[in-house]
Amino acid sequence: MAMIQRRSSSSAWTNWLLFSKKKNIYQLMDHTCLMHVIHSLKQHLKDGRITFGGQTPPSCEETNLLSEQYDPQVECTCEDIEPATRLQNKCNSGQHECRAIRSMKEVMEKVIERKDEWHNTGLFTPAKLRLAVDELVNSNTNIQESPKICLGTDILSSIPRIQAPDRRPNPSVDTNPRIGNQLYPTAEQLKICTDAKYFGVISCGGSLCDEGLARAVADSCNDILIGDYCEAADAKGLKLLQQVGAAAMSFLKLCNMAGRVTDWQFNNLYAYIVQCRVLGYYRDHTRSHLPDGIYGSRMTGLGVHRHIDVAAFHGVMTASLGTGQEVTEEQFSRIVEATVYISDFVDLRGDTMRKQRENVILRGIRGDLCKYLDETIGNCLDLVADVIESSELGALVVMGYCNWAIMSAHHKVYELLRGIQQVQKQSACEYVSVSQATRYERLIEALRPYGTLGNDGPRVSKKRIEMDKSYALCQGSSEKHLAWLADATRSLLEPTTLRQVLDVVHFEWSGDVGAVDYCP
């Protein structure tokens, strides 16, 4: 949808169209009509006569997703503090003022105070937002001692340095940007946007829903991208992200009024993005002072903050549009945990190297590291199979996340696995999740109804440039698209592959780490 523009219009006519039923949705394909409707929508919003997700209209920029003003950048110099202790993150605990953390808390209080403007259902509540903020703020507290490993020795003296490739696109593996923008067009023409939108959000629809709706849902995730990467954007790029995101939400609201998007879908999407915008202020300014290596810290649950910032609901939205299904709070929590395993598994080595503690698999380390990683792989296989068996919607989301993991440039799954070798000085211990095939066999059986493309499907061993072209063709058929997603899941979650990705004790990655702190 084009940027929101102002045009004069007949109030009576636009009011009728704004509240039209499904039979009138196709009138929005007329550009003149669409411009009238856009102007009327903006005027209704300005006058406080329309609600978005809540019972009352938005009254501030923080709860107005059409404001085109979201920018969580905060100037802060608190990284100059003394090194954090093993018990407490001084910067984030309030012992030292952190403006980013303070801003996040202030915005949280502001949106909770105005909860009637965005909260209407149970998936994204004020209480869960408060818990998520607390979890992030205290993620560097309760830092654990270095874990033991299967040899019974301290990990620091027994394993090679943990490294991973940087997150820059790789010219020898990734599609040329000019061709990529033709295959997967976005307004921003940024690789990180293309990957998140096409290989993640849109893929979760499995070509079962209207393409325009799926792309609008994908564009509505721009505020999440701004929260993650705003420091890397120039003023023009940031403004474009803001405008496209606001336009997408406007379009989805119109589709909601016309009956093409349900209240459950739109209201949850709105509440979820409001909460993502709060967490988008978070910055961990103590990273340079944290201990090196791999160790646990405070982690009270897989989905406490990842319930919001793993961005699972965008996938749920497109899957819901395609299947007509909804999820309960419990079902959504299971989907979130499954996507957390997928996302945080592939980033574990890189997050360890960069000391990025949002990774809950990293923070959850306790006891013997080898046993912990083995059990984590097993838990992942069990949970993903549960979600796939429970509903088509859940299956689409976890399969879409596997697709995003192997096809996005910044995850570098291809380069990671190509550069991993077994450590020669010690024999690898047994991983029950690998040696006993029952869990993976159950997953394979759960995926059977979705088909396979055989050798034409995606693999972790294939270059992304090869998969980009094949995937673009598959999207024209829901049958082929679903088979592609199932193959991506089979390949990524194969236990031997997962062990190589996670087992930093017996498998090391060697190669050029490149620009370690490169921001996509």
Length of the chain as a residue count: 520
CB 346 within 8 A of CB 411: yes
**Selection from 436, 401, 421, 415 nearest residue 503 by Cα:** 421
User: How much is the pLDDT for 26?
Assistant: 67
User: How much is the pLDDT for 7?
Assistant: 33
- Going from the C-alpha of 268 to that of each of 73, 210, 320, 324, 508, the distances in angstroms are 26, 19, 12, 15, 42
Chain segment 120-147, per-residue pLDDT in tens: 888 999 999 999 999 999 999 999 998 9
Rg (CA), the chain: 23
CB 496 within 8 A of CB 409: no
Residue 3: pLDDT above 60? Answer: no
Q: What angle do CA 94, 97, 102 make, to 5 degrees?
A: 80
User: How much is the pLDDT for 93?
Assistant: 46
Residue 10: pLDDT above 90? Answer: no
Residue 483 phi/psi, 5-degree rounding, is -65, -40
Model confidence at 107, pLDDT cuts 50, 70, 90, reads very high
CA distance 61 to 347: 33
pLDDT (average), residues 230-252: 93
Worst-scoring range by mean pLDDT, 93-102, 158-167, 443-452?
Answer: 93-102
CB 433 within 8 A of CB 439: yes
pLDDT (average), residues 402-407: 98
**E strand or H helix that includes residue 5:** none
pLDDT (average), residues 292-303: 96
Chain segment 150-183, per-residue pLDDT in tens: 977 766 667 889 999 999 999 999 999 999 999 9
pLDDT (average), residues 458-484: 97
CB atoms within 10 A of CB 430: 11
User: How much is the pLDDT for 32?
Assistant: 85
Worst-scoring range by mean pLDDT, 150-164, 305-319, 388-402?
Answer: 150-164
Residue 189: pLDDT above 90? Answer: yes
User: How much is the pLDDT for 424?
Assistant: 83
- Going from the C-alpha of 4 to that of each of 37, 38, 63, 248, the distances in angstroms are 10, 7, 18, 10
Q: What angle do CA 52, 55, 56 make, to 5 degrees?
A: 75
CB 490 within 8 A of CB 442: no
Residue 283: pLDDT above 80? Answer: yes
pTM equals 0.92
User: How much is the pLDDT for 82?
Assistant: 41
**Selection from 517, 508, 68, 59 nearest residue 287 by Cα:** 517
User: How much is the pLDDT for 258?
Assistant: 86
pLDDT (average), residues 307-321: 97
Worst-scoring range by mean pLDDT, 147-151, 189-193, 198-202, 453-457?
Answer: 147-151
CB 332 within 8 A of CB 316: yes
CA distance 11 to 73: 39
pLDDT (average), residues 90-110: 79
Highest mean pLDDT out of 36-45, 154-163, 387-396: 387-396
- Going from the C-alpha of 92 to that of each of 75, 136, 364, 403, the distances in angstroms are 15, 9, 19, 35
**pLDDT > 90: percent of the chain:** 77
**Selection from 273, 349, 280, 345 nearest residue 312 by Cα:** 273
CA distance 191 to 185: 10
DSSP 215: H
The 3-state DSSP class for residue 456 equals helix
Residue 519: pLDDT above 60? Answer: yes
Q: Which residue has the higher pLDDT, 237 or 122?
A: 237
Residue 60: pLDDT above 60? Answer: yes
Residue 18: pLDDT above 60? Answer: no
In sign, the C-alpha dihedral spanning 477, 482, 484, 485 is positive
CB 153 within 8 A of CB 503: no
* Cβ-based neighbours of 301, under 8 Å, separated by 6 or more: 135, 360
Residue 370: pLDDT above 80? Answer: yes
User: How much is the pLDDT for 211?
Assistant: 94
- Going from the C-alpha of 467 to that of each of 174, 464, 473, 474, 484, the distances in angstroms are 9, 5, 10, 10, 10
CB atoms within 10 A of CB 371: 17
**Selection from 196, 333, 249 nearest residue 63 by Cα:** 249
Chain segment 70-82, per-residue pLDDT in tens: 999 998 888 644 4
Amino acid at 293: G
CA distance 112 to 126: 6
Structure tokens at 4: 């929101």
User: How much is the pLDDT for 8?
Assistant: 34
Residue 92: pLDDT above 60? Answer: no
CB atoms within 10 A of CB 103: 18
Mean pLDDT (the chain) is: 90
User: How much is the pLDDT for 501?
Assistant: 98
CA distance 378 to 430: 13
User: How much is the pLDDT for 413?
Assistant: 98
pLDDT (average), residues 9-18: 41
Residue 16: pLDDT above 90? Answer: no
Worst-scoring range by mean pLDDT, 38-47, 245-254, 395-404, 416-425?
Answer: 38-47
Q: Which residue has the higher pLDDT, 97 or 116?
A: 116
DSSP 51: -
User: How much is the pLDDT for 23?
Assistant: 56
Worst-scoring range by mean pLDDT, 154-163, 335-344, 441-450, 511-520?
Answer: 511-520
CB 347 within 8 A of CB 411: yes
Residue 66: pLDDT above 70? Answer: yes
Residue 479: pLDDT above 60? Answer: yes
Residue 199: pLDDT above 90? Answer: yes
Residue 148: pLDDT above 60? Answer: yes
